[in-house]
Amino acid sequence: MDHPFEDIEIKANALEIFEQELQRRRKPCMIGTGAMTDPYIQLEPRLQITRGALELIEKYEFGVAIQTKSARILRDLDLLTAINKKTKAVVQMTLTTYDEDLCKILEPYVSTTKERFETLMRFKSVEIPSVVWLSPILPFINDSKENLEGILEYCIQAGVKGILCFGFGVTLRAGNRDFFYQQLDKHFPGMKQKYRLTFGENYVCTSPNNDDLMSIFKNTCQKHGILYQTEDIFRYLHTFEDKREQLSLF
Protein backbone atom coordinates (compact mmCIF):
# COMPACT_ATOMS: atom_id res chain seq x y z
CA MET A 1 0.00 0.00 0.00
CA ASP A 2 1.24 3.47 -0.86
CA HIS A 3 -0.95 5.30 1.65
CA PRO A 4 -1.47 5.21 5.45
CA PHE A 5 -3.12 2.04 6.67
CA GLU A 6 -5.97 3.99 8.27
CA ASP A 7 -6.94 5.67 4.96
CA ILE A 8 -9.82 3.96 3.17
CA GLU A 9 -11.72 4.27 -0.06
CA ILE A 10 -15.52 4.17 -0.01
CA LYS A 11 -17.71 2.70 -2.75
CA ALA A 12 -20.19 5.55 -3.00
CA ASN A 13 -22.61 3.53 -5.15
CA ALA A 14 -22.32 0.28 -3.17
CA LEU A 15 -25.98 0.16 -2.17
CA GLU A 16 -27.21 0.74 -5.73
CA ILE A 17 -25.04 -2.11 -6.99
CA PHE A 18 -26.11 -4.31 -4.11
CA GLU A 19 -29.81 -3.75 -4.77
CA GLN A 20 -29.35 -4.57 -8.45
CA GLU A 21 -27.68 -7.84 -7.50
CA LEU A 22 -30.49 -8.76 -5.11
CA GLN A 23 -33.11 -8.04 -7.77
CA ARG A 24 -31.36 -10.41 -10.18
CA ARG A 25 -31.58 -13.38 -7.81
CA ARG A 26 -34.32 -15.87 -8.61
CA LYS A 27 -34.69 -16.89 -5.00
CA PRO A 28 -33.35 -15.58 -1.67
CA CYS A 29 -30.29 -17.02 0.04
CA MET A 30 -27.92 -16.22 2.90
CA ILE A 31 -25.67 -13.20 2.43
CA GLY A 32 -22.35 -13.04 4.24
CA THR A 33 -20.16 -10.03 4.88
CA GLY A 34 -16.52 -10.00 3.83
CA ALA A 35 -13.89 -10.42 6.53
CA MET A 36 -11.27 -7.98 5.20
CA THR A 37 -13.07 -4.89 6.51
CA ASP A 38 -15.37 -4.72 9.50
CA PRO A 39 -18.89 -3.60 8.47
CA TYR A 40 -19.02 -1.37 11.56
CA ILE A 41 -15.93 0.79 11.09
CA GLN A 42 -15.70 4.13 12.89
CA LEU A 43 -17.24 5.90 9.89
CA GLU A 44 -20.32 3.67 9.67
CA PRO A 45 -22.52 5.88 11.90
CA ARG A 46 -22.02 8.62 9.29
CA LEU A 47 -21.87 6.49 6.15
CA GLN A 48 -24.85 4.22 6.97
CA ILE A 49 -23.70 1.75 4.27
CA THR A 50 -24.06 -1.33 6.43
CA ARG A 51 -27.47 -0.25 7.69
CA GLY A 52 -28.56 0.48 4.13
CA ALA A 53 -27.45 -2.99 3.07
CA LEU A 54 -29.40 -4.59 5.92
CA GLU A 55 -32.48 -2.59 4.94
CA LEU A 56 -32.21 -4.03 1.43
CA ILE A 57 -31.66 -7.55 2.75
CA GLU A 58 -34.80 -7.20 4.87
CA LYS A 59 -36.78 -5.65 1.98
CA TYR A 60 -35.95 -8.46 -0.44
CA GLU A 61 -36.26 -11.13 2.28
CA PHE A 62 -32.76 -12.56 2.20
CA GLY A 63 -30.90 -13.99 5.18
CA VAL A 64 -27.66 -12.58 6.55
CA ALA A 65 -24.57 -13.74 8.42
CA ILE A 66 -22.74 -10.59 9.50
CA GLN A 67 -19.27 -10.58 11.06
CA THR A 68 -17.88 -7.82 13.28
CA LYS A 69 -15.75 -6.90 16.30
CA SER A 70 -17.92 -3.91 17.17
CA ALA A 71 -20.79 -3.32 19.57
CA ARG A 72 -22.02 -0.78 16.99
CA ILE A 73 -23.96 -3.67 15.49
CA LEU A 74 -26.54 -3.15 18.24
CA ARG A 75 -27.66 -0.03 16.38
CA ASP A 76 -29.14 -2.39 13.78
CA LEU A 77 -30.83 -4.73 16.24
CA ASP A 78 -34.21 -3.77 14.80
CA LEU A 79 -33.27 -4.79 11.25
CA LEU A 80 -31.54 -7.99 12.30
CA THR A 81 -34.58 -8.93 14.36
CA ALA A 82 -36.88 -8.29 11.41
CA ILE A 83 -34.69 -10.40 9.13
CA ASN A 84 -34.51 -13.18 11.69
CA LYS A 85 -38.30 -13.36 11.91
CA LYS A 86 -38.55 -14.06 8.19
CA THR A 87 -35.47 -16.20 7.70
CA LYS A 88 -32.13 -16.24 9.55
CA ALA A 89 -29.84 -13.50 10.81
CA VAL A 90 -26.60 -14.73 12.36
CA VAL A 91 -24.24 -12.44 14.24
CA GLN A 92 -20.59 -13.49 14.03
CA MET A 93 -18.24 -12.00 16.61
CA THR A 94 -14.48 -12.44 16.92
CA LEU A 95 -13.22 -13.21 20.44
CA THR A 96 -9.53 -13.86 21.08
CA THR A 97 -8.40 -12.20 24.30
CA TYR A 98 -10.19 -12.60 27.63
CA ASP A 99 -7.99 -10.14 29.53
CA GLU A 100 -9.37 -6.65 28.89
CA ASP A 101 -6.05 -4.81 29.24
CA LEU A 102 -4.33 -7.18 26.82
CA CYS A 103 -7.28 -6.94 24.45
CA LYS A 104 -6.90 -3.16 24.30
CA ILE A 105 -3.28 -3.61 23.22
CA LEU A 106 -3.95 -6.28 20.60
CA GLU A 107 -7.17 -4.75 19.24
CA PRO A 108 -7.05 -1.02 20.06
CA TYR A 109 -9.67 0.27 17.61
CA VAL A 110 -12.60 -2.06 18.29
CA SER A 111 -14.89 -3.02 21.15
CA THR A 112 -13.23 -4.93 23.97
CA THR A 113 -13.93 -8.61 24.46
CA LYS A 114 -16.26 -7.88 27.38
CA GLU A 115 -18.20 -5.38 25.28
CA ARG A 116 -18.50 -7.95 22.50
CA PHE A 117 -19.66 -10.57 25.00
CA GLU A 118 -22.33 -8.19 26.26
CA THR A 119 -23.36 -7.63 22.65
CA LEU A 120 -23.73 -11.38 22.14
CA MET A 121 -25.84 -11.58 25.29
CA ARG A 122 -28.15 -8.89 23.89
CA PHE A 123 -28.66 -10.88 20.71
CA LYS A 124 -29.26 -14.01 22.75
CA SER A 125 -32.06 -12.20 24.59
CA VAL A 126 -33.91 -11.65 21.28
CA GLU A 127 -33.11 -15.17 19.99
CA ILE A 128 -30.77 -14.12 17.21
CA PRO A 129 -28.15 -16.89 16.81
CA SER A 130 -24.44 -16.19 16.99
CA VAL A 131 -21.14 -17.72 15.94
CA VAL A 132 -17.75 -16.84 17.44
CA TRP A 133 -14.47 -16.73 15.53
CA LEU A 134 -11.56 -17.79 17.75
CA SER A 135 -8.62 -16.47 15.73
CA PRO A 136 -5.92 -15.42 15.58
CA ILE A 137 -4.32 -16.58 18.80
CA LEU A 138 -0.81 -15.15 19.20
CA PRO A 139 1.86 -17.57 20.43
CA PHE A 140 3.41 -16.58 23.79
CA ILE A 141 0.87 -13.75 24.19
CA ASN A 142 -2.71 -15.01 24.46
CA ASP A 143 -2.26 -18.75 23.86
CA SER A 144 -2.81 -19.76 27.48
CA LYS A 145 -5.30 -22.17 29.02
CA GLU A 146 -6.70 -19.35 31.18
CA ASN A 147 -7.36 -17.17 28.15
CA LEU A 148 -9.11 -19.95 26.23
CA GLU A 149 -11.25 -21.01 29.17
CA GLY A 150 -12.34 -17.40 29.75
CA ILE A 151 -13.45 -17.01 26.15
CA LEU A 152 -15.21 -20.38 26.14
CA GLU A 153 -17.11 -19.41 29.28
CA TYR A 154 -18.31 -16.26 27.52
CA CYS A 155 -19.45 -18.41 24.59
CA ILE A 156 -21.32 -20.79 26.88
CA GLN A 157 -23.11 -17.94 28.66
CA ALA A 158 -24.01 -16.32 25.34
CA GLY A 159 -25.41 -19.59 24.01
CA VAL A 160 -23.45 -19.40 20.76
CA LYS A 161 -24.41 -21.78 17.98
CA GLY A 162 -20.81 -22.50 16.98
CA ILE A 163 -17.17 -21.52 17.44
CA LEU A 164 -14.82 -21.37 14.46
CA CYS A 165 -11.24 -22.27 15.32
CA PHE A 166 -8.60 -23.00 12.68
CA GLY A 167 -5.93 -23.94 15.19
CA PHE A 168 -4.12 -21.83 17.73
CA GLY A 169 -1.58 -19.57 16.09
CA VAL A 170 -1.15 -16.77 13.58
CA THR A 171 -0.16 -16.44 9.92
CA LEU A 172 2.47 -13.89 8.88
CA ARG A 173 2.97 -12.79 5.30
CA ALA A 174 6.15 -10.91 4.43
CA GLY A 175 4.63 -7.41 4.63
CA ASN A 176 2.49 -8.28 7.65
CA ARG A 177 5.49 -9.70 9.48
CA ASP A 178 7.36 -6.38 9.42
CA PHE A 179 4.40 -4.47 10.86
CA PHE A 180 3.70 -7.22 13.41
CA TYR A 181 7.30 -7.18 14.64
CA GLN A 182 7.20 -3.38 14.98
CA GLN A 183 4.19 -3.75 17.26
CA LEU A 184 5.90 -6.51 19.25
CA ASP A 185 8.88 -4.22 19.84
CA LYS A 186 6.50 -1.50 20.98
CA HIS A 187 4.31 -3.51 23.35
CA PHE A 188 6.22 -6.73 24.15
CA PRO A 189 9.97 -6.05 24.26
CA GLY A 190 12.02 -9.16 23.45
CA MET A 191 9.07 -11.02 21.92
CA LYS A 192 10.23 -10.44 18.33
CA GLN A 193 13.40 -12.40 18.98
CA LYS A 194 11.38 -15.23 20.50
CA TYR A 195 9.23 -15.38 17.36
CA ARG A 196 12.28 -15.39 15.11
CA LEU A 197 13.94 -18.19 17.06
CA THR A 198 10.75 -20.27 17.19
CA PHE A 199 9.23 -19.72 13.75
CA GLY A 200 11.91 -18.25 11.50
CA GLU A 201 10.22 -17.10 8.29
CA ASN A 202 7.30 -19.54 8.55
CA TYR A 203 3.98 -18.37 7.15
CA VAL A 204 2.06 -20.41 9.73
CA CYS A 205 3.18 -19.81 13.32
CA THR A 206 1.46 -22.45 15.44
CA SER A 207 1.39 -22.10 19.20
CA PRO A 208 3.47 -24.68 21.10
CA ASN A 209 0.30 -25.09 23.21
CA ASN A 210 -1.85 -25.92 20.19
CA ASP A 211 -2.57 -29.57 21.01
CA ASP A 212 -3.50 -28.93 24.63
CA LEU A 213 -5.66 -25.94 23.74
CA MET A 214 -7.38 -27.83 20.94
CA SER A 215 -8.25 -30.64 23.33
CA ILE A 216 -9.83 -28.17 25.78
CA PHE A 217 -11.66 -26.47 22.93
CA LYS A 218 -13.17 -29.64 21.46
CA ASN A 219 -14.11 -31.16 24.82
CA THR A 220 -15.84 -27.96 25.94
CA CYS A 221 -17.80 -27.61 22.70
CA GLN A 222 -18.90 -31.25 22.81
CA LYS A 223 -19.99 -30.93 26.44
CA HIS A 224 -22.16 -27.87 25.75
CA GLY A 225 -23.51 -28.82 22.32
CA ILE A 226 -21.63 -26.10 20.46
CA LEU A 227 -20.74 -26.68 16.81
CA TYR A 228 -16.98 -26.68 16.28
CA GLN A 229 -16.37 -28.60 13.06
CA THR A 230 -15.63 -26.01 10.38
CA GLU A 231 -17.78 -27.65 7.72
CA ASP A 232 -20.77 -27.88 10.08
CA ILE A 233 -20.57 -24.21 10.99
CA PHE A 234 -20.20 -22.99 7.41
CA ARG A 235 -23.07 -25.25 6.35
CA TYR A 236 -25.20 -23.58 9.02
CA LEU A 237 -24.12 -20.08 7.94
CA HIS A 238 -24.89 -20.83 4.29
CA THR A 239 -28.25 -22.55 4.78
CA PHE A 240 -31.22 -20.31 4.04
CA GLU A 241 -34.33 -20.83 6.14
CA ASP A 242 -37.82 -19.61 5.29
CA LYS A 243 -39.61 -19.19 8.62
CA ARG A 244 -42.73 -17.79 6.94
CA GLU A 245 -43.39 -21.18 5.37
CA GLN A 246 -42.93 -22.85 8.74
CA LEU A 247 -45.40 -20.46 10.36
CA SER A 248 -47.97 -20.99 7.62
CA LEU A 249 -48.17 -24.68 8.49
CA PHE A 250 -49.70 -23.80 11.84
For residue 243, give the CATH number of its domain: 3.80.30.10
Q: Is residue 175 part of a domain?
A: no
For residue 245, what pLDDT band results from cuts at 50, 70 and 90?
A: low
Q: Domain tally for the chain?
A: 1
Q: What is the DSSP string of 67-119?
A: EES-GGGGGGHHHHHHHHHHS-EEEEEE----SHHHHHHHSTTS--HHHHHHH
* Residues 117, 150: Cα–Cα separation, whole Å: 11
Q: Is residue 8 part of a domain?
A: no
Residue 95: closest CA among 143, 163, 146, 157:
163
Could you read off the pLDDT of 5-54 as tens digits, one per residue? 778 888 889 999 999 999 999 999 999 998 778 999 999 999 999 999 99
Q: Is residue 201 part of a domain?
A: no
Q: Is residue 242 part of a domain?
A: yes
Q: Is residue 117 part of a domain?
A: yes
Per the confidence metrics, is the pTM higher than 0.95?
A: no
Q: Is residue 82 part of a domain?
A: yes
Q: Is residue 29 part of a domain?
A: yes
195 pLDDT above the threshold of 80: yes
Could you read off the pLDDT of 75-110 as tens digits, one per residue? 999 999 999 999 999 999 999 999 999 999 999 989
Q: Is residue 151 part of a domain?
A: yes
146 pLDDT above the threshold of 90: yes
State how far the alpha carbon of 70 is from the alpha carbons of 43, 102, 107, 139, in Å.
Answer: 12, 17, 11, 24
69 pLDDT above the threshold of 90: yes
Which structural domain, as residue segments, surrounds residue 77?
Answer: 14-168+207-248
248 pLDDT above the threshold of 70: no
* CA dihedral angle for residue 44, residue 81, residue 98, residue 153, rounded to 10 degrees: -170
